[in-house]
Every structure is written in C-alpha cells, then in structure tokens.
A and B are shown apart, each in its own frame.
Chain A
Amino acid sequence: MRVNGKEMTLGNNQSLLQFLAANQFDVVTLAVARNGEIVPKPTYDSVMLCEEDTLEVVRFVGGG
C-alpha cells in the first residue's frame, strides 16, 4: 500500500481506522483520501484497506 508517497506493508484485514491507530496517526485532526476519493470520517471503521490502495493522510500546519 502507498501512504503519502511511501510504500507500507499492510496487515491482514485492516480497516482504515485500525491502520491509522496502529501507525499513531491522530484520527481527530487528520483527513484521508483513498485512491483520490475523500473518505468521510464516520466511515473509517468500515473502510477495509487493500495492498493496491493509495492513501493521502493530511493535517493542518502553519500557513498563510
């Protein structure tokens, strides 16, 4: 699976929520696009990931 431009190994049968928690992403303050589509936060638990997925995991930083 590709996450923010890097290859990562995905465990078996992981939901998006489980993947984010396992990699210590702060779910509350981030947003995720999966294969270019924004994933609604209430569905993180039911979205099952696969090795072919590409994720963009983003958060706020300082900016003008």
Chain B
Amino acid sequence: MTDQLVIGGQRFNSRFILGSGKFSLEIVQAVVENGGAEIVTLALRRANQGGEENILEYIPENITLLPNTSGARTAEEAVKIARLAREINCGNFVKVEVIKDSKYLFPDNYETVKATEILAKDGFVVMPYMYPDLNVARDLVSAGAAAVMPLASPIGSNKGLSTKDFIQILVDEIAVPIIVDAGIGRPSQACEAMEMGVAAVMCNTAVATAKNIPLMAKAFGQAIESGRNAYLAGLGRVLNQAAEASSPLTGFLED
C-alpha cells in the first residue's frame, strides 16, 4: 500500500516538513537527510552586495522548496513576497504567513484568506499558516488553499499541541491536508499530532534548538512516520474504568 501526501497534485513520501531557519548552512543537508524531509521552507530577505552564501546550494536537489511570506503584515505584502519568490524560479509552492501581532506572532486569519485567494488564482500552490478556526479553514479551502496549516502553539515556543481539540475539528471537517505548523517542541508531540490524523507536521525551532540538530531531525522523522502508521492502523480503544487482561483468562497452570 502506498501512503503518500498529496499537495497541489505533487506526491510526497515524507510527512515531515522542515523549516530551515536558525541553523548554519553547513548542516542544512545533514538535517534534511536525517529527517527524511522532502519539503523545506525558506524565507525571502534583502540580499547583500558583494556576494554571499546561498542556501539553495546546501539543499539537496530533489527537495520541494516552500518559500514563506514571513515579514508580511498584510495580504498585499504577502502576495508581493510570494511573487518575488517565484521569480527566483524555485517552483510555485508558497506558505502564506501574515502576522501583525508582534508579541505572540499569531497569524492574521482575515488577511491570510485574502492573500490565499489572490495567489491561488495566480497559479500558486498555497499553504496558508493559520490560527485553527473551522470557519476560516473553510474560507481558505474556498479561496483555493492546497493545504491548511494550523498552529499548535505560538511560533518558536516548543510548547506543543495547545490547540489540539481545534486541530482535530479541522482534521475531521476539512478535505485538504491539515498540516500542523508552529509550536511543536518534541517528537512525541509530532507523533501525537500524526496519530490524530493530520497529514503532515512542520517543525523548525524544535530541531534548531536541540543540542544535536541532525539527530533531532532524525527523531522527528521517525516520530512522524510512527504517528502516521498508528493513525493508519487505528488506535486501540480506551477503557475508562476497570481493566481487561491481555493474556488469556483460561488454561492457567493450576486449573
């Protein structure tokens, strides 16, 4: 049985989306390969004159690049960043990220829907980062989102699945892939999200702030794969009271 993640018609074997921020270029390749990631996010920033290191040279060739629109405070700015990124000729995937709130870095769902609609019509495969809200998720799908990326907790916090119940509602009700993005801190939390039925998990800070970054990428890759298998297998039921023996209750030696 082939279990693949499909986004915008493109198929992926890995369900680990890796953010490339906060670690040195020299280890990017090792982190990507250890995690088994097939999608890597990037940001767009001002270039410096005089030549400088180019992150694209450190990312393996078969990786799908997912530029984000970080820095955008409005839909208009996000659209401009996405179009600039596409001009670099690295595909048409984009993670829409519109943030006005500078304390908690929460996404502006309203501006995100607007940007998603414009970019989807413009031929982008749009993956919007959002605060988990069912109505907004439905609006994003109507606007042409190829996936919906709800936050687990504030960006970079490593606090885990604070919004678990609301993400579960999105998993249950939304037809496009639900990808948990932001706030996942431990492989066990990524595994738990996958067990819930989310299609993929995106991590950056949890990996980048580990003592051994490539090893943590491997741990996340394994946890995400494990959680996916658990979801496909169907979790065993829970007894709220009493117990049930795992071993047979007949044929004891003293019978």
Contacts from A to B (Cβ < 8 Å): 3-5, 23-26, 29-33, 36, 38-41, 56-64
Contact = CB atoms under 8 A, between A and B. Distances in A.
Contacts of A29: 54, 56, 88
Given A23-B49, A59-B46, A60-B65, 4 more contacts: A31-B87, A60-B85, A60-B88, A62-B43
Contacts, number: 105
How many B residues touch the partner, as a band? 35 or more
A31 B85 contact: yes
Interface in B133-182: 155, 182
Contacts of A24: 49-51
Contacts of A5: 46
A40 to B, nearest CB: 7
Interface in B44-62: 44-52, 54-56
Contacts of A62: 19-23, 25, 28, 42-43, 55
Interface string B25-47: 10010000000000001111111
Contact of A64 (B54, B65, B205): B205
B19 A63 contact: yes
Contacts of B19: 62-64
A15 B56 CA distance: 26
Interface of B: 19-23, 25, 28, 41-52, 54-56, 65, 67-68, 70, 80, 83-85, 87-90, 155, 182, 202, 204-205
A64 B20 contact: yes
Contact of B89 (A36, A39, A41, A59): A41
Contacts of A64: 19-22, 41, 43, 68, 70, 155, 182, 202, 204-205
A36 B80 CA distance: 9
B50 A60 contact: no
A61 B55 contact: yes
A63 B90 CA distance: 15
B49 A60 contact: no
Which 5 A/B pairs are nearest by Cβ-Cβ distance? Answer: A63-B43, A64-B19, A64-B204, A31-B87, A62-B20
Given A62-B22, A64-B41, A31 B88 contact: yes
B47 A25 contact: yes
